[in-house]
Amino acid sequence: MPSSEAVEPRFRAGDRVAVRAAYPPGHVRTPFYIRGKTGVVERLCGDFANPEELAYARSGLPRRPLYRVRFRQTDVWPDYRGADSDTVDIEIYQHWLEPVP
């Protein structure tokens, strides 16, 4: 895959990121419950054709970096019942993530 077909990754494992609080229509792979939440990049999974485009028979190019982002459950659900250390890890595409200083 030529590099021009893939977007460069802008985050690394350990970076703090926020999920965009956006609500576009279509085949979106970012669950509603995690939009607007802040977590930490667990790993870069590689780059993949954008499923939001593939769903409509487009090429999905350029390929987009996909990350596993780890969120503390107590940050996701204000009334979470369980240990403070409990987490949820979610795969999120780069175009859904913003850097958090």
Where along the sequence are the contacts to another protein (CB under 8 A)?
Answer: 29-31, 33, 45-46, 48, 51, 66, 68, 73, 76-77, 80-83, 85-93
Dist CA 96 CA 52 (whole Å): 12
C-alpha–C-alpha distance, residues 37 and 85, integer Å: 17
d(CA 20, CA 34): 9
- Cα–Cα distance between 19 and 21 in angstroms, integer? 6
CB of residue 90 to another protein, shortest distance in Å = 5
Residue number with CB closer to another protein (95 or 101) = 95
- Beta bridge partner(s), residue 65: 47
Least separation in angstroms between residue 91's CB and another protein is 4
Distance CA 47, CA 24 (A): 22
* Rounded least distance, CB 32 to another protein, Å: 9
Residue closer to another protein (CB basis): 25 or 101 = 25
Q: Which is nearer to another protein, 35 or 101 (CB)?
A: 35
